[in-house]
C-alpha cells in the first residue's frame, strides 16, 4: 500500500502545505494543536477539496487539483474514525456497524457485523442502544463501523483523546491487534508521543500546517533531522 | 365531495400539511445544508406568506391559478380544468400559507444535527439522499413534527387566501373558519358558537397528539 499526499489548501484562513507518504501498518501524524493534522485527514477523506496538489492511494487518484478531479468521499474507500466517534444515536450497535453495508445481501451483512463485533470485543452488543455505551465502547463501535465496508485505508482522528487513561492503554493494544488482523493501513492523528511509540511504524511530524520530518518512527525519534523538528519533540518530552 | 365545514377544514388542512411536508422537507434540507446562489432570495420567497396579509396571498394565487393565469391556463390545457373555486384551490391556499412554518422549523432542526454524523456517513459509501433520509431526518424528527403541527394549525386557521381563491361554496370550499364568518354575518350566532367550540376542541386534540409524538421517548 502507499498513500501519496501533496497538497496545499486554504481553509478558513489556515494554510495547509503538506507532502508525505504512508506505507502499510500505522502512520502517525504527530504535532501540537493547530498543526493541521485533522485538516489533512479531511482532505484525504474527501471532506475538503484540495486547493493545489494531489492525493493517491495504491496508485488510484483520489484528488488532483490540476485536473479538477475530486473523488467524492463515498467512492474513496477511505474509512474515518472521528475524534468524538459520531456513533449514530438513533441506531443500535448492529445498525451502526451495518451502515456502510447497505448494498450487501442481508446474510453477508449479518455475518460481517457479528465478526466485527467479535473482533472489537463487543460480542452480544448487537441490539444495545448507543446512549448506554461507555466512551471506550463507542470508540470500538465506530472502529467496527469504519472497518465494515473493507476500506483501503483507515483514518483515525485522536481516537484515544476522549478516553480515560486506563481505557486508553487497553484500547491502544487492541487497535494494534485490529490493524494486524485486518491488514488495513491506518493514518492516526495524535499529540501523544506515547501513542506514537507504541503504535506507529511510520511518523510524520507536523507544525503550523507544514511537515517538519517524516520517516520510520525510530529513525525520526532518534534523528529528527532539523532544529524545528527536534524542538517539537523536546517540547513534548518536557 | 360534499363535506360539512369542520370535516372539510380537517381534510383540507391534512392535505395541505402533507404537501408542506413533501415540498418543505427538501427545501429545508437545501437551506440548512447547501450554499448556492439565490439562497437568501429563496428563503425570503418561502417566508413571505408568513408576513403578507392572507388577502394579498389570495390575490396572487387568484392571478396565478385563475383562467387567465399561467397555472390556470396550463391546468385547462392538460385537462385538469378549472382550479379556482374548487376544493383543490382551498388546499393550495392552505398549503402556501402553511409551508413556511414547516420549512422554518425543519431547517432549524436540520441545522441542529451535528454535521459529523453526515460526514462519517459519506465516508461509509452512502449517497446524499440515503444520508438525508436515514441520518439527518431521523435526528431532526422532533423539529419536523413541531413544524408539521404548526403547519397544520395554520392550515386549519386559513381564511383570507381561501376566501379569495376558493370562495365559500357549501360542501365544497366552505371550511369551518369561513362558515363561522358566514354564520356571524347572517346573525346565526348559535351555529357560529357550536362550530367555534368544536373546531377549537378538535384542533387542540390533534395538536396535543402531535406534541406528544414530537416529545417521543428519545434514544
8 Å CB contact of A89 and B219:
yes
| Closest CA–CA distance from residue B130 to any residue of chain A (Å) | 10
- With a cut of 70, say whether residue A34 has pLDDT above it: yes
Predicted confidence band of residue A151 (pLDDT cuts 50, 70, 90): very high
8 Å CB contact of A146 and B122:
no
Q: Distance (Å, rounded) from C-alpha A8 to C-alpha B124? A: 26
Nearest C-alpha neighbor of A80 from the set A102, A105, A118, A48: A48
Which residue of chain B has the CA closest to A73?
A: B123
Which residues are CB-neighbours of B113 under 8 A, at least 6 positions away?
B135, B136, B139, B140
The pLDDT value recorded for residue A225 is: 82
Q: Out of A66-70, A138-142, A170-174, B53-57, pick the least confident.
A: A170-174
Instruction: Say if residues A203 and A30 touch (Cβ distance below 8 Å).
Output: yes
| Closest CA–CA distance from residue B148 to any residue of chain A (Å) | 21
Chain B, 113 to 142: residues with Cβ < 8 Å from chain A are: 114, 116-117, 119-127, 130, 134-135, 138-139
Nearest C-alpha neighbor of B9 from the set B187, B203, B147: B203
For chain B, list the domains and their CATH numbers.
5-215 (1.10.3720.10)
8 Å CB contact of B125 and A131:
no
8 Å CB contact of B117 and A129:
no
| Closest CA–CA distance from residue B172 to any residue of chain A (Å) | 43
Predicted confidence band of residue A164 (pLDDT cuts 50, 70, 90): confident
Q: Which candidate in A87, A96, A102 is best for mutational testing of the B interface (most B CBs within 10 A)?
A: A102
Kindly state the percentage of chain A with pLDDT values over 70.
Answer: 99
- With a cut of 70, say whether residue A238 has pLDDT above it: no
Which residue of chain B has the CA closest to A43?
A: B123
Q: Tell me, what's the ipTM? A: 0.92
8 Å CB contact of B123 and A84:
no
For chain A, list the domains and their CATH numbers.
3-88+152-237 (3.40.50.300)
Instruction: Enumerate the residues of chain A whose CB falls inside 8 A of the CB of residue B114.
Output: 86
Q: Out of A63-67, A232-236, B181-185, B191-195, pick the least confident.
A: A232-236
The pLDDT value recorded for residue B36 is: 92
Nearest C-alpha neighbor of A36 from the set A15, A64, A57: A15
8 Å CB contact of B123 and A88:
no
The pLDDT value recorded for residue B100 is: 97
Average of per-residue pLDDT across A7-36: 92
| Secondary structure (DSSP) of chain B | ----HHHHHHHHHHHHHHHHHHHHHHHHHHHHH---TTHHHHHHHHHHHHHS-HHHHHHHHHHHHSTTSHHHHHHHHTT----TTSHHHHHHHHHHHHHHHHHHHHHHHHHHS-HHHHHHHHHTT--HHHHIIIIIHHHTHHHHHHHHHHHHHHHHH--HHHHHHH---TTTT--HHHHHHHHHHTT-HHHHHHHHHHHHHHHHHHHHHHHHHHH----
8 Å CB contact of B119 and A79:
no
Predicted confidence band of residue A237 (pLDDT cuts 50, 70, 90): confident
8 Å CB contact of B126 and A99:
yes
The pLDDT value recorded for residue A141 is: 96
- With a cut of 90, say whether residue A165 has pLDDT above it: no
Predicted confidence band of residue A1 (pLDDT cuts 50, 70, 90): low
- Out of A75, A84, A99, name the one closest to residue B121 (CB): A99
- Out of A74, A78, A82, name the one closest to residue B116 (CB): A82
Which residues are CB-neighbours of A154 under 8 A, at least 6 positions away?
A78, A79, A80, A81, A146, A147, A184, A185, A186, A187
Q: What is the 3-state secondary structure (H, E, C) of chain A?
A: CCEEEEEEEEECCEEEEEEEEECCCEEEEECCCCCCHHHHHHHHHCCCCCCEEEEEECCEEEEECCCCEECCHHHCCEEEECCCCCCCCCCCHHHHHHHHHCCCCHHHHHHHHHHHHHHCCCCCCCCCCHHHCCHHHHHHHHHHHHHCCCCCEEEEECCCCCCCHHHHHHHHHHHHHHHHHHCCCEEEEECCHHHHHHHCCEEEEEECCEEEEEEEHHHHHHCCCCHHHHHHHHHHHC
- With a cut of 60, say whether residue A176 has pLDDT above it: yes
8 Å CB contact of B125 and A103:
yes
Q: How many CB pairs under 8 A join A and B?
A: 64
| Closest CA–CA distance from residue B156 to any residue of chain A (Å) | 33
pLDDT < 70: residue spans in chain B: 1-2, 216-219
Instruction: Enumerate the residues of chain A whose CB falls inside 8 A of the CB of residue B115.
Output: none
The pLDDT value recorded for residue B218 is: 55
Which residue of chain A has the CA closest to B116?
A: A86
Interface of A with B (CB under 8 A): 45-47, 72-80, 82, 84, 86, 88-90, 99-100, 102-103, 129-131, 142, 145-146, 148-149
- With a cut of 60, say whether residue A228 has pLDDT above it: yes
Amino acid at each position: 500500500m502507499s498513500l501519496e499526499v501533496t497538497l496545499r489548501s486554504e481553509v478558513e484562513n489556515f494554510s495547509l502545505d503538506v507532502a508525505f507518504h504512508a506505507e502499510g501498518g500505522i502512520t502517525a501524524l504527530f504535532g501540537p494543536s493547530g498543526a493541521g493534522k485533522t485538516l489533512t485527514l479531511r482532505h484525504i477523506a474527501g471532506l475538503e477539496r484540495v486547493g493545489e496538489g494531489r492525493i493517491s492511494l495504491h496508485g488510484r487518484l483520489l484528488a488532483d487539483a490540476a485536473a479538477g478531479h475530486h473523488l467524492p468521499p463515498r467512492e474513496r474507500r477511505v474509512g474515518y474514525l472521528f475524534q468524538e466517534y459520531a456513533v449514530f444515536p438513533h441506531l443500535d450497535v448492529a445498525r451502526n456497524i451495518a451502515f456502510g453495508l447497505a448494498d450487501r445481501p442481508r446474510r453477508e451483512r449479518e455475518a460481517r457485523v457479528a465478526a466485527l463485533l467479535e473482533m472489537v470485543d463487543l460480542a452480544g452488543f448487537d441490539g444495545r442502544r448507543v446512549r448506554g455505551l461507555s466512551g471506550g465502547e463507542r470508540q470500538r463501535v465506530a472502529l467496527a463501523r469504519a472497518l465494515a465496508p473493507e476500506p483501503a485505508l483507515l483514518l483515525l482522528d485522536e481516537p484515544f483523546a476522549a478516553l480515560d487513561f486506563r481505557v486508553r492503554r487497553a484500547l491502544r493494544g487492541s487497535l494494534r491487534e485490529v490493524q494486524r488482523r485486518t491488514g488495513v493501513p491506518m493514518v492516526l492523528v495524535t499529540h501523544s508521543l506515547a501513542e506514537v511509540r507504541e503504535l506507529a511504524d511510520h511518523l510524520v511530524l507536523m507544525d503550523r500546517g507544514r511537515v517538519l520530518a517524516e520517516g520510520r518512527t525510530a529513525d525520526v525519534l532518534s534523528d529528527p533531522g532539523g532544529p524545528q523538528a527536534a524542538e517539537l519533540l523536546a517540547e513534548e518530552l518536557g | 365531495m360534499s363535506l360539512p365545514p369542520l370535516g372539510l377544514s380537517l381534510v383540507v388542512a391534512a392535505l395541505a400539511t402533507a404537501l408542506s411536508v413533501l415540498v418543505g422537507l427538501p427545501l429545508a434540507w437545501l437551506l440548512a445544508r447547501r450554499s448556492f446562489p439565490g439562497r437568501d432570495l429563496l428563503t425570503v420567497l418561502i417566508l413571505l406568506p408568513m408576513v403578507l396579509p392572507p388577502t394579498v396571498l389570495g390575490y396572487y394565487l387568484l392571478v396565478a391559478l385563475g383562467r387567465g393565469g399561467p397555472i390556470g391556463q396550463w391546468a385547462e390545457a392538460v385537462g385538469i380544468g378549472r382550479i379556482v373555486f374548487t376544493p383543490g384551490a382551498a388546499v393550495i391556499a392552505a398549503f402556501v400559507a402553511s409551508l413556511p412554518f414547516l420549512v422554518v422549523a425543519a431547517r432549524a432542526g436540520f441545522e441542529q444535527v451535528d454535521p459529523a454524523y453526515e460526514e462519517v456517513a459519506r465516508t461509509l459509501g452512502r449517497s446524499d439522499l440515503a444520508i438525508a433520509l436515514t441520518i439527518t431526518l431521523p435526528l431532526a424528527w422532533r423539529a419536523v413534527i413541531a413544524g408539521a403541527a404548526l403547519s397544520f394549525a395554520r392550515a386549519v386557521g386559513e381564511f383570507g387566501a381561501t376566501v379569495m381563491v376558493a370562495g365559500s361554496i357549501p360542501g365544497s370550499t366552505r371550511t369551518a373558519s369561513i362558515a363561522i364568518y358566514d354564520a356571524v354575518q347572517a346573525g346565526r350566532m348559535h351555529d357560529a358558537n357550536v362550530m367555534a367550540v368544536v373546531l377549537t376542541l378538535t384542533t387542540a386534540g390533534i395538536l396535543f397528539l402531535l406534541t406528544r409524538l414530537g416529545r417521543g421517548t428519545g434514544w
